[in-house]
Each structure stands twice: as C-alpha cells, then as structure tokens.
Structure 1
Amino acid sequence: MKAIAHDVYGPPEILELRDVATPVPADDEVLVRVHAAGVDRGVWHLVTGLPYPVRLAGYGIRRPKGAVPGTDLAGRVEAVGRGVTGFRPGDEVFGIGTGTFAEYACAPAGKLAHKPAGLTFEEAAAVAISGLPALQSVRDHGRVEPGQSVLIIGASGGVGTFAVQIAKANGAEVTGVCSTAKVDLVRSIRADNVVDYTREDFARLGRRYDVILDIGGNASLTRLRNALAPRGRLVIVGGETDGRWLGGTDRQLRALALSPFVSQTLCVFISKEKGEDIRVLRDLVESGDIAPVIDRTYPLAEAGTALRRLVDGQARGKVVLTVTAG
C-alpha cells in the first residue's frame, strides 16, 4: 500500500510517499481503508522528535519506532479482528488509529465510532484528535456552565474551533482570541466576541472571565490570571515554544505549582483518547451543535506541505489529507 513514511527525525519536508506492507489487525482492532486523515500538532512532535521527552516516552531515542505518522482517520472498515463486535466490513467510521497517513491503518475498535451521515470523510477525519481536548477542556476541566463568560485563546485552530462551539452549546458567553486574518472565521462559529491579538491585549481590556482556555497562546501566568475572575478556572490546553527540552511545558508546571496557593484554579491536562467521548462528539455533530472547520485539504503525497502549513500557524481550523477517494 502507499503510505507517508520517515526513518529519521526531522522537519516536515523529510516525509515521503512509499510502498509499505499493509498492517494486520489484532484481535481487538479494525483494519480501515483510510479515505482521509487529519493533521495535528502531535504529528509534528513525532516527526521531529521534539521536544526531546517525546523520544523518552517510547517513540524512539535515535530514530522513530513507527515509520508512518498520523492518528486521526475516517474511512471504511476493511476487516475486523476476532474479538471485535459492533463493526463489520463496509461500515463508514472515524476515530483514532495508528499510522493513518496511509491507504490502510489499524485502529482499536474502542477508539472508533460510526461516521455521522452528514459529514464527508474529510470532515469526519478532523473530529477526534482535536475534538477530544476541546470537549474535555470545556466539560471536565473548565466545567463550563450556562451563563458563564469564557475566553478561548487560540480560537481559530483545530482544537479552538471545536472549543468555541462546545462552550456555546453549553450556554456560555464566548470570547475568542485570534489574529486579524482569522477574526471572521471565529465569528462564523458563533463566538459572541472576538479579540484580535495583533491590535488588542485581552489582559488589558478590563474584563475578567469565569473560565479561560489557553489553547494556542503563550501568555504569561500573570497576564492570564489578570483576566481571570477571582475564583475562575484557567485551563492550559496548549501553547508551545520552540524549546527542545520543555517545549512550553515549564509554564504548565508553574501553573500546577501555584494553583494550591491562590483562589483561582489553574489546570493543565493531557487529552484522553476515550471512545465514549468520540461518540459524544458524534452526537454533537449530529445534533448540529458542532461542525468541523476545514482549512484546506491536501493529497496524501503532500503530507509534508500540509504539516508545514499547520506548524507555521497558517491554518484556519483543521488541515486534512485526502487519502483515498470516497
């Protein structure tokens, strides 16, 4: 089968299209014929091997253990493992797999759901990896309730566009922070207010929010706390630097250390790949509460270009690879 692969760590440009063996599903896995695959920041980490703790986490010290990147997918079931129930060949599915930048990929049955009928494969491939941190940050860590004011920094990215919509579905008043070129996008997904960070500083507008979700920023804890209500909740979802060792996680560690000593709640978390939450996202799509925002699609062979667009901050929403015509 055709797949995007790399043998060494490096920039997106090292990715190349190759012929590789088709994977065989384990007993609890599903083999999916991939029609589309989402591109996310996690792919960049595994392609570059940065920050260095990524390598220590089991992905390979000197070179990557997995040649084919990608986790988001949407496609049709080709075969199922002996222990799989609930899926059969021909089913249209979306969710999380391994090595999804390929014509075929294996996925645990527990991390798949049936594709919403109203979505294209490209749209469905944009949901899981970005939708999960958005859902969990709003629901579990931000604990957003109707009537609360919510500030979302990085509102125009893959995670941010879902977070805005989920917070609105929860009845919050949402303010999104983004650049000038993306203001119209954030307004189009029902944000009540938009702050253009190139012209205004959210921390100096004189407003304090019940919940702040910092998804794509690198604001200091001082600035974030200045914009947070005295008993508000700050959830640091993302915000990265080019640091080879900490990659921005030093700010998250400081937030955890400070939280017990202040009236505000300062949270960080790692998104969990929970099958039940993938099904929650499907239900939100089918109810019309959320819709994936696609920036641009690329053919599989241009995976490096797609990843470069994402990490350079050009994307408005999700970047997706079209792998096999639907």
Structure 2
Amino acid sequence: MKAIVFKRYGEPEVLQIEEIKKPVPKNNEVLIRIFATSVTAEDPKMRGFNHPPLLKLPVGLMFGFKKPKNPVLGIEFSGTIEAIGKEVKKYKIGDEVFGYTGLSFGAYAEYKCMPENGLIHYIPENLSFEESACMVNGPLSALAYMKKKGNIKQGDKILIYGASGSVGTAAVQLAKYFGAHVTGVCSTKNIELVSSIGADIVIDYTCQDFTQTEEKYDLLFDTVGKTSMKECLKLLRPKGRYLLTEFGFSHILASIFTSLFKSKKVIVASSNFYWKIEDLELFREIAEKGYFKPVIDKTFPLERIIEAHKYVELGHKAGNVAISIK
C-alpha cells in the first residue's frame, strides 16, 4: 500500500511516499481503506521533533529521540471498512467511518487497522470524507476544554482567541450549540469566516486589543497559546475559567494555585485524555442536524504532503487542512 514515511526528523522533505506492507486485522480489529486524513498543527512538530522543553523528554521516550519509532504520521482519518476480524460485531464491510488513531498514528496511508472499540464511528451522512476526517482533533479538543473542563453552559459569555483555527472554528460552533454568547478573536482575513460559523462578536486582533474592554467573560479560551495570562484573568467574571491548549510551567503552577485558592481558574490539560466514543457520536449527531461542520481551508492529494506540511507550518490556516487519499 502507499504511505507517507519519514525515517528521520527534519524539514518537510523528510516525508517520502513509499510502498509498505498492507496491515491485516486481528480478531477484534477492522481494516479501513482510508480516503482522507488531515495535517494537524501537531503533525509538523512530530515530524521535526519541535516540542516545548517540558515535552521533549517524554515525547522522545515514547516516539524516539534520534529517529521516529513509528515512521507513518497521521492521527485523523475517514474511509470505508474493507475487512473485519472474526470477533467484530459492531461494524460490517462497506461501513463508512471516521476516527482517531491515537499514539499509533498511521493515517498517512491507504490502510489502517483499528480496534472495534477504538475511537471510530460512522461518518455523518451529510459530510464528505475530507470533512469527516477533520471531525476529531479540533472538535474533540474544543469539547474537552469547554465542556468537560470549562463546564460551559447556556447563557455563558465566552471569548475564543484563535477562533479561525481548527480548534477555534470547532469551539465557536460548539459554544453556540451549547447556548453561549460567543466573541471570536482572529485576523482581518478571517473575520467573515468566524462570523459565518456563528460568532456573535468578532474582534480583529490586528487593529484592536481584545483585553482593553469592560466586558467580562465566564470562559476565555486561548486555542493557540498566545494570550497574556495576567491580562486574561482580569477579563473573567467571578468563577470564570481561563482555558489554554498550549502552556508552559508557569501556567501549570497557576492552574494548581487557582484550583486551590482562587475563584477564577486557570485550566490546562492534555485534552485527548478525555476523548471517548460518545464524543464522536455527539459530533455525528450535531453535524447531521446542521449545528456543526468542519471548516476546510485546503485539500491536498497525498502526493503533495510536503506542500501541505509547509502550508500548515506557516500558521495561517483557517480551520483544517485535509489530505485526499484516492
């Protein structure tokens, strides 16, 4: 089968298309013919071993210091089940599914085996394979932070910084689904996009400092790790929550301290610890009802994966970058 392989860490050019062995499903696994995957913001970091100092040691131990233990990247996918193990009951050959590979990676390929009880589910009937392949990382991250950690509820006022990214576009739509009033912060070119997906107010950070306001929020969600903790805490109502997807040691200390002694909370966590199959079911349901749709910036064929990585590394993508494997 075709796959994108990298045998050393480095620039996008280390990604090469090769023929590798097609996997065979175990008794409890399904074999998925992948039709689409994505390039998340984390993929280039894994490819280049570009991690924050706090993460270099654990990431190196898990995935290799000098070269990658797993040579095929990719964590999100959608496709069709081509074969099933003899113990599989839930799925059948021909089912169209989407899902998340977890730490096994491997979605930059034509085929991937997944356990029947893994993070996979039927794709929404109204979404394409490319859209369905972007239904996990951003959406489930937004859900984990805002609902499971941030306890968002109807009537809350939430500000989302980085509202045009993968997590941000999911967060805006999800916050509206939960009945919140949403202020999105993004660059000039993405104002129309963020407004179109439901934001009540959109702030252009290139010409307005969102912290210079009398407004107070129940949640402030920084999806890109570029806000000032000191300034953001001032914007919170009593018992407000400041949510961070990217954080350093000072944020961890603040999270511990505020959880014990303050009404305003700093919340940091690795969101995928909270992902469950029920979350995929939720997003399938709200997608089919029209409340949610992944935003696709660009779609590249698998053969142009180097170009896709370079584009994502620029840091200006709106929503998601999908990869078509046809």
Instruction: Letter of the 1:104 partner, please give it.
Output: Y
Q: What TM-score do you get using the length of structure 1 for normalisation? A: 0.92
Q: For the Cα contact (< 8 Å) 1:96–1:107, is it kept in 2?
A: no
Deviations 1:184-206 (A, max 9, x none): 11001010001111111111122
Deviations 1:68-99 (A, max 9, x none): 10010000001122332211111110011231
Q: Where do residues 232-271 of structure 1 align in structure 2 (5 Å cutoff)?
A: 232-238=240-246, 248-259=247-258, 260-271=260-271
Check if 1:113 corresponds to 2:113.
Answer: no
Instruction: Letter of the 1:49 partner, please give it.
Output: F
Q: For the Cα contact (< 8 Å) 1:2–1:102, is it kept in 2?
A: yes
1:222 alignment counterpart: 230
Residue 278 of structure 1, aligned match among 277, 280, 293 = 280
Q: CA RMSD in A?
A: 1.5
CA distance in 2, matches of 1:316, 1:184: 11
Instruction: Letter of the 2:324 partner, please give it.
Output: T
Residue 67 of structure 1, aligned match among 71, 75, 78 = 71
Local SS of the residue matching 1:47:
helix
Deviations 1:121-177 (A, max 9, x none): 001001012111111112111111111100011110111101100100111000011
CA distance in 2, matches of 1:57, 1:195: 41
Residue 87 of structure 1, aligned match among 66, 91, 114 = 91
Q: For the Cα contact (< 8 Å) 2:255–2:265, is it kept in 1?
A: no
Q: For the Cα contact (< 8 Å) 2:143–2:174, is it kept in 1?
A: yes
Q: Greater CA deviation, 267-276 or 88-97?
A: 267-276
Local SS of the residue matching 1:61:
coil
CA distance in 1, matches of 2:254, 2:84: 44
CA distance in 1, matches of 2:278, 2:57: 29
1:181 alignment counterpart: 189
1:292 deviation in Å?
Answer: 0.7
1:11 alignment counterpart: 11
1:321 alignment counterpart: 323
Q: For the Cα contact (< 8 Å) 2:5–2:15, is it kept in 1?
A: yes
Change in CA separation of 1:53 and 1:202 when aligned onto 2, cut-off 3 Å? farther
2:22 alignment counterpart: 22
1:49 alignment counterpart: 49
CA distance in 1, matches of 2:22, 2:322: 22
Instruction: Letter of the 1:82 partner, please give it.
Output: K
Local SS of the residue matching 1:210:
strand
1:57 deviation in Å?
Answer: 4.5
Local SS of the residue matching 2:193:
helix
Q: For the Cα contact (< 8 Å) 1:142–1:213, is it kept in 2?
A: no
Residue 76 of structure 1, aligned match among 75, 80, 104 = 80
Check if 1:99 corresponds to 2:106.
Answer: yes
1:28 deviation in Å?
Answer: 2.8
Question: Identity rate of aligned residues, in percent?
Answer: 37
Check if 1:39 corresponds to 2:43.
Answer: no
Q: Greater CA deviation, 48-57 or 105-114?
A: 48-57
2:62 alignment counterpart: 58
Q: What TM-score do you get using the length of structure 2 for normalisation? A: 0.92
Unaligned runs of 5+ in 2: none
CA distance in 1, matches of 2:312, 2:225: 15
Q: Greater CA deviation, 301-310 or 171-180?
A: 301-310
1:252 deviation in Å?
Answer: 3.0
CA distance in 2, matches of 1:155, 1:289: 17
Local SS of the residue matching 1:203:
coil
Corresponding pairs, count:
315
1:139 alignment counterpart: 147
Q: Where do residues 189-200 of structure 1 align in structure 2 (5 Å cutoff)?
A: 189-200=197-208
CA distance in 1, matches of 2:300, 2:119: 25
Local SS of the residue matching 1:74:
strand
Change in CA separation of 1:317 and 1:90 when aligned onto 2, cut-off 3 Å? same
1:245 alignment counterpart: none
Residue 313 of structure 2, aligned match among 305, 311, 314 = 311
Deviations 1:28-55 (A, max 9, x none): 3221101000111222232112212353
